[in-house]
Amino acid sequence: MTGAEARAAGAEVVLADFARVIGQTMGWPPTAGRTAGVLMLSERPLTARELQAQVGASAGSMSECTRLLIENGVVHRFKAPGSRHFVHEWRPDAWVGCLEHQLRQVETLRDLAHRTTATAGSLPGPVGPRAREMVAYYDLMAARLGAVLEEYRARR
């Protein structure tokens, strides 16, 4: 096996892992995981059409995948100077972007927990204790994820 063949085989292993593991863990379709892998391995930003070709996805599927990756904080979409087309690239701080996204989700659920407790916390039956448990959990999660994010940023 030549060096180029070994690199291509290694890249395919990474892409397959991203499609399966990251996609599944993040709740993404495998195509989004594979798209993330393609962008992480790419040395340059790629257009949606280039991504479609490399991933083997339709235009609609690629649009949905890139939107999902942008929302999750790992991909940046922009127009290169002098270009008519948007390109997508793996963010240099993708893991920070991913953690920021997760923190926003936890904060949204924490806020819901507080509203639920304020509204339904004194209702009879199990709803009060369940709502208070939700508050305790999401208060802790938001505080800890925020601290992890700040610690990671400080280490970079």
Give the model's pLDDT for residue 2. 81
Confidence at 94, pLDDT banded by 50, 70, 90? very high
Q: How confident is the model at residue 10 (pLDDT cuts 50, 70, 90)?
A: confident
Residue 4 token pair: 């180029």
Domain coordinates of the chain in residue numbers?
A: 3-91, 95-155
Cβ–Cβ < 8 Å for 112, 96:
no
Residues facing 75 on adjacent strands: 90
Triad 37, 54, 46: Cα angle to 5°: 75
Rounded percentage of the chain residues whose pLDDT exceeds 90? 66
DSSP annotation of 145: H
The answer as to CATH 1.10.287 being correct for domain 95-155 is yes
**For residues 34 and 41, what is the distance between their CA atoms, to the nearest angstrom?**
11
Average pLDDT over residues 20-27: 87
Instruction: Return mean pLDDT, the chain.
Output: 91
DSSP 43-105: SS-EEHHHHHHHHT--HHHHHHHHHHHHHTTSEEEEEPTT-SSEEEEE-TTHHHHHHHHHHHH
CATH number for the domain formed by residue range(s) 3-91? 1.10.10.10
**What pLDDT, on the 0 to 100 scale, is given for residue 121?**
61
pTM (whole model) above 0.85: no
Residue 46 has pLDDT above 90, yes or no: yes
Express each pLDDT in 101-152 by its tens digit: 999 999 999 999 999 889 876 777 888 888 899 999 999 999 999 999 999 9
Which contacts of 146-150 are long-range, i.e. CB under 8 A and separated by 24 or more positions? 146/103, 148/99, 149/96, 149/99, 149/100, 149/103
Question: Once rounded to an integer, what is the mean pLDDT over residues 89-109?
Answer: 96
The tens digit of pLDDT for each residue in 66-87 reads 999 999 999 999 998 888 899 9
